Chain A
Amino acid sequence: MSVAAEGSRQVSPGKGAMRPFEAVNPVAKFGAALLLAACLVLTIDWVSAGTALLLELAAMPFLGVRARAFWLRTLAVWIAAPLTGLTILLYGQASGTVYWEWLTIRVSDGSIDLAIATALRVLAIGLPAVVLFITVDATDLADGLAQVWRLPSRFVLGALAALRLVGLFLDDWRYLELARRARGVGDTGRIRRVPGQVFALLVLAIRRGSRLATAMEARGFGGETERTWARDSRFGWREWLVACAGLMVGMISIAAAVLTGHWNFIVG
């Protein structure tokens, strides 16, 4: 049996049953989102953003994200996009016919164009980023970052372990709230109490953190020995495919903008 075959497949029997996209190395998903975003931030126009958005929506059904999860996780993006658009609409650089003016607000042909382009852009960059990450397991991502991208394992694994403490901090915060009520200071000044509670949380966090660090060190973490990896993080043809798909969507969008004459390079 090859070394590679002894890897994650053995730990996670469920993986074989996963939809193919879920099994793609998180680093590839990360790369795809990054490449796409890099293309789209070069220009501000509605054609490129709209093209990207259309291609993305067409690809969504193949990514294995359930409808409910999709809407729940991307809710913030759907709220942020029109808000950003509105801001640009009211305060964006004016040009062409001015339709409405009040104090510093100027709604013009130019600001309408910019607003639409920006709102679409937020969706076109935000949606795939969120969707790609719904299917990412933190441990897999850490494996990928350390093994494929060769980021320092100390840093990656430290961050991964710290991530696990977040749940404990949420519990701590709830207890801190209840304790304020129990101590007789819970009636007023909810906002004013926040700094004190944050400080208490910080003290508890440092304590938990240092205990975790001791536990990790006791298991040989941070030693001189070259580390091995129990799970193999591979970057194969599927990963290249996903990364290329991200780049392709970005390139097609740029091409569409250039061909229709809407290309609007962001600098200058």
Chain B
Amino acid sequence: MNSGQDVPAAGVVARGWGWRHAPRKRWAVSDLDLRIEPGERVLLLGASGAGKSTLLQALAGVLGGEDDGEPSGELLVGGKPPAESRGRAGLVLQDPDSQVILAKVGDDVAFGCENLGVPRQEIWPRVREALDAVGLDVALDRSTAALSGGQKQRLALAGVLAMRPGLLLLDEPTANLDPAGVVDVRDAVARVLERTGATLVVVEHRVDVWLPLVDRVVVLSPGGGLLADGSPHAVLTDQGRVLAEAGVWVPGFPPALPARHRASGPDLLLAGDLSVGRGSRVEALVVKADIELTVAAGMTTAITGPNGSGKTTLGFTLAGLLPPLAGVVEATPELRGLQTGRHAGISEHPIRWTSRQLLTRIGTVFQEPEHQFLTATVREELEVGPRALKLPAGEIDARVDELLQRLRLDAVAAANPFTLSGGEKRRLSVATVLATRPRILMLDEPTFGQDARTWAEQVAILAEFVDAGGAVVAATHDRAFVEALADAEVGL
């Protein structure tokens, strides 16, 4: 009873399996024939929309019943339908915040055991063993809210592990983490597999993270069935280019970088003795003090550092959305627009500007596009900024049409922004800001959790903006992004 080794690994069998979500016409997965032997470690790849998450949820038995969708064919976990073998498969999802269930670490890990009806005297040893296996060395009554993203993911893994599953299912478990968190979670999974010998199926865009751990790569085809299946080396060699084009980060196939025409321009924003931190102004915890930086036209500045280091706060402070804890953020006459003579009265502190004055000077793109959507259609969304500037109707239409086309949003112009795909939401959130032609663009984690295609699009749009004389400030922990674009880096 002191380890999970007495739990046999569970294999997977799919025979002509498919699933269609209730209101949709298209099958999310169809004609899937797949056999995964107990103890195998599989990396599951495929373009967005190929049904990777649907398959994982089906294996975990959480797809729901007849009300939620229609199945076809047969799917077995450890020889039984997933719904009949609860607890045999354990699923860890992408978003760390939405997986924490209870307020204390110990209680959260125990939750799954309770649901499976494990006797109380057996639960607590399992909890301690699971926390030990994932390397989460905190007190059982530690508040789950106080954990970092990487710790929360390891907590979720421990919660699943305490249920003693024979099949471990991971759905992009590291997509929302900083590089240190990614390694911690990956190593925790490696340790768990070594101890338990459980079968692994992991979905992840970033192939290099999991390559050391997996012995097989399966690629789902968006049209149904499999695109490829075999050893990692064979599949990535044969299918590397196709996968890269579908948005998978394949080692050796980096996303295309745009051609650059760099030219630096005048200074726009100066920060001196600036302090940033967490919490309110009254009760602030200063994370970094004495920050000095200059934002100039034609230049990209990357603010880097681990999650929780104050990157977003610094970005928002520079962007005139938050007041500095200490020190100043000063707009140069160039940014204020003094040489045109039309804005003689405008303050040199962006935080004192009106919302409208910000529009043509500093635009901010939020990490979650949903936070900044205001209207019911993509077109109206793009019109918000220009309307606030009281531009003539003809000018508004011209700008909106141009952006719709340039950012490939014309096909969804009438759609509700909340219903767009992840990549489209990203493009729209950048487009809404570009519509008012700000001199500086501030982006918060612009490449968080993105596939390689959306990533490359985003980099291309920003490169174009900077080369045309704009300035970009980006809070990011994405090394590839920094290397592709940044001219200066501020490490927190």
Q: Does A associate with B in a complex?
A: yes
Number of A-B contacts (CB under 8 A): 178
CB distance from B426 to the nearest CB of A (A): 15
On whether the beta carbons of A184 and B120 are closer than 8 Å, the reply is: no
On whether the beta carbons of A221 and B115 are closer than 8 Å, the reply is: yes
Question: Does A79 make an interface contact (CB < 8 A)?
Answer: no
Question: Does A20 make an interface contact (CB < 8 A)?
Answer: no
Instruction: Give the chain B neighbours of A226 by CB distance below 8 A.
Output: 117
On whether the beta carbons of A184 and B91 are closer than 8 Å, the reply is: no
On whether the beta carbons of A212 and B99 are closer than 8 Å, the reply is: yes
Cross-chain contact of A187 among B112, B355, B418 (Cβ < 8 A) = B355
On whether the beta carbons of A219 and B102 are closer than 8 Å, the reply is: no
Cross-chain contact of B119 among A204, A208, A228 (Cβ < 8 A) = A228
Question: Does A3 make an interface contact (CB < 8 A)?
Answer: yes
On whether the beta carbons of A212 and B98 are closer than 8 Å, the reply is: yes
Question: Does B145 make an interface contact (CB < 8 A)?
Answer: yes
Question: Does B110 make an interface contact (CB < 8 A)?
Answer: yes
Instruction: Give the chain A neighbours of B207 by CB distance below 8 A.
Output: none
On whether the beta carbons of B120 and A232 are closer than 8 Å, the reply is: yes
Q: B110-148 toward A: CB 8 Å interface, digit per residue (1/0)?
A: 111111111111011001000000000001110001000
Cross-chain contact of B86 among A168, A220, A230 (Cβ < 8 A) = A220
Instruction: Give the chain B neighbours of A106 by CB distance below 8 A.
Output: none
A218-B62 CB under 8 A given contacts A176-B371, A181-B321, A228-B119: yes
Question: Does A73 make an interface contact (CB < 8 A)?
Answer: no
On whether the beta carbons of A230 and B110 are closer than 8 Å, the reply is: yes
CB distance from B125 to the nearest CB of A (A): 9
CB distance from B436 to the nearest CB of A (A): 7
Instruction: Give the chain A neighbours of B140 by CB distance below 8 A.
Output: 10-13
Stretch at the interface among A55-63, A83-91, A159-167, A236-244: A159-167
Q: A201-229 toward B: CB 8 Å interface, digit per residue (1/0)?
A: 00110001001101111111111011111
Stretch at the interface among B260-268, B299-307, B381-389, B484-492: B381-389
Q: A66-91 toward B: CB 8 Å interface, digit per residue (1/0)?
A: 00000000000000000000000000
Question: Does A183 make an interface contact (CB < 8 A)?
Answer: yes
On whether the beta carbons of B112 and A220 are closer than 8 Å, the reply is: yes
The secondary structure that dominates the A interface is: helix
Cross-chain contact of B118 among A11, A160, A185, A228 (Cβ < 8 A) = A228
Instruction: Give the chain A neighbours of B107 by CB distance below 8 A.
Output: 11, 139, 230-231
Question: Does A41 make an interface contact (CB < 8 A)?
Answer: no
Question: Does A105 make an interface contact (CB < 8 A)?
Answer: no
Question: Does B432 make an interface contact (CB < 8 A)?
Answer: yes
CB distance from B373 to the nearest CB of A (A): 7
On whether the beta carbons of B124 and A230 are closer than 8 Å, the reply is: yes
Question: Does B364 make an interface contact (CB < 8 A)?
Answer: yes
On whether the beta carbons of B374 and A196 are closer than 8 Å, the reply is: yes
A230-B123 CB under 8 A given contacts A14-B141, A214-B93, A220-B116: yes
Instruction: Give the chain B neighbours of A220 by CB distance below 8 A.
Output: 86-87, 112, 115-116, 163
CB distance from A195 to the nearest CB of B (A): 12
Closest to A7 in B: B120
On whether the beta carbons of B115 and A168 are closer than 8 Å, the reply is: no
CB distance from A189 to the nearest CB of B (A): 11
CB distance from B170 to the nearest CB of A (A): 11
Instruction: Give the chain A neighbours of B363 by CB distance below 8 A.
Output: 182
- Contacts of A164-204 to chain B: CB distance below 8 A: 164, 167-168, 172, 175-176, 178-187, 196, 200, 203-204
On whether the beta carbons of A160 and B62 are closer than 8 Å, the reply is: no
On whether the beta carbons of A216 and B368 are closer than 8 Å, the reply is: no
On whether the beta carbons of B91 and A218 are closer than 8 Å, the reply is: yes
CB distance from B81 to the nearest CB of A (A): 14
Instruction: Give the chain A neighbours of B60 by CB distance below 8 A.
Output: 218
Question: Does B319 make an interface contact (CB < 8 A)?
Answer: yes
Instruction: Give the chain A neighbours of B370 by CB distance below 8 A.
Output: 200, 203-204
Instruction: Give the chain B neighbours of A161 by CB distance below 8 A.
Output: 101-102
Docked pose: A3 CA to B122 CA in angstroms: 10
Cross-chain contact of A172 among B119, B120, B371 (Cβ < 8 A) = B371
CB distance from A8 to the nearest CB of B (A): 9
Question: Does B27 make an interface contact (CB < 8 A)?
Answer: no
Question: Does B100 make an interface contact (CB < 8 A)?
Answer: yes
- Contacts of A1-43 to chain B: CB distance below 8 A: 1, 3, 6-7, 10-14
Instruction: Give the chain B neighbours of A183 by CB distance below 8 A.
Output: 355, 372, 374, 384-385, 388, 432
Instruction: Give the chain B neighbours of A138 by CB distance below 8 A.
Output: 103
On whether the beta carbons of B101 and A219 are closer than 8 Å, the reply is: yes
Docked pose: A22 CA to B141 CA in angstroms: 16
Docked pose: A167 CA to B281 CA in angstroms: 19
CB distance from A230 to the nearest CB of B (A): 4
CB distance from B369 to the nearest CB of A (A): 10
On whether the beta carbons of A228 and B321 are closer than 8 Å, the reply is: no
Cross-chain contact of A6 among B87, B91, B121, B385 (Cβ < 8 A) = B121
CB distance from B448 to the nearest CB of A (A): 14
- Contacts of B74-96 to chain A: CB distance below 8 A: 86-87, 90-91, 93, 95
Docked pose: A160 CA to B108 CA in angstroms: 12
On whether the beta carbons of B364 and A182 are closer than 8 Å, the reply is: yes
- Contacts of A98-145 to chain B: CB distance below 8 A: 137-139
Docked pose: A168 CA to B371 CA in angstroms: 13
On whether the beta carbons of A215 and B101 are closer than 8 Å, the reply is: yes
On whether the beta carbons of B358 and A181 are closer than 8 Å, the reply is: yes
On whether the beta carbons of B354 and A179 are closer than 8 Å, the reply is: no
Question: Does B104 make an interface contact (CB < 8 A)?
Answer: yes
Docked pose: A204 CA to B368 CA in angstroms: 10
On whether the beta carbons of B121 and A13 are closer than 8 Å, the reply is: no
Question: Does B57 make an interface contact (CB < 8 A)?
Answer: yes
Cross-chain contact of B145 among A139, A167, A196, A231 (Cβ < 8 A) = A167
Docked pose: A13 CA to B141 CA in angstroms: 8
Closest to B169 in A: A218
On whether the beta carbons of B372 and A182 are closer than 8 Å, the reply is: yes
Docked pose: A180 CA to B118 CA in angstroms: 49
A215-B319 CB under 8 A given contacts A175-B368, A228-B123: no
On whether the beta carbons of A200 and B98 are closer than 8 Å, the reply is: no
On whether the beta carbons of B156 and A228 are closer than 8 Å, the reply is: no
6 nearest A-B pairs in the assembled complex, by CB-CB distance: A186-B355, A220-B115, A184-B388, A219-B112, A211-B98, A230-B110
In addition to A176-B371, A183-B374, A183-B432, 4 A-B residue pairs with Cβ atoms within 8 Å of each other are A139-B103, A182-B358, A182-B433, A223-B86
Provide a sorted-by-A list of 8 A–B residue pairs whose CB atoms are within 8 angstroms. Answer: A175-B371, A182-B358, A184-B384, A187-B355, A196-B374, A212-B98, A215-B98, A218-B91
Binding site for A on B (CB under 8 A): 57, 60, 62, 86-87, 90-91, 93, 95, 97-104, 106-107, 110-121, 123-124, 127, 139-141, 145, 156, 159-160, 163, 316, 319, 321-322, 354-356, 358-359, 363-364, 366, 368, 370-374, 384-385, 388-389, 418, 432-433, 436
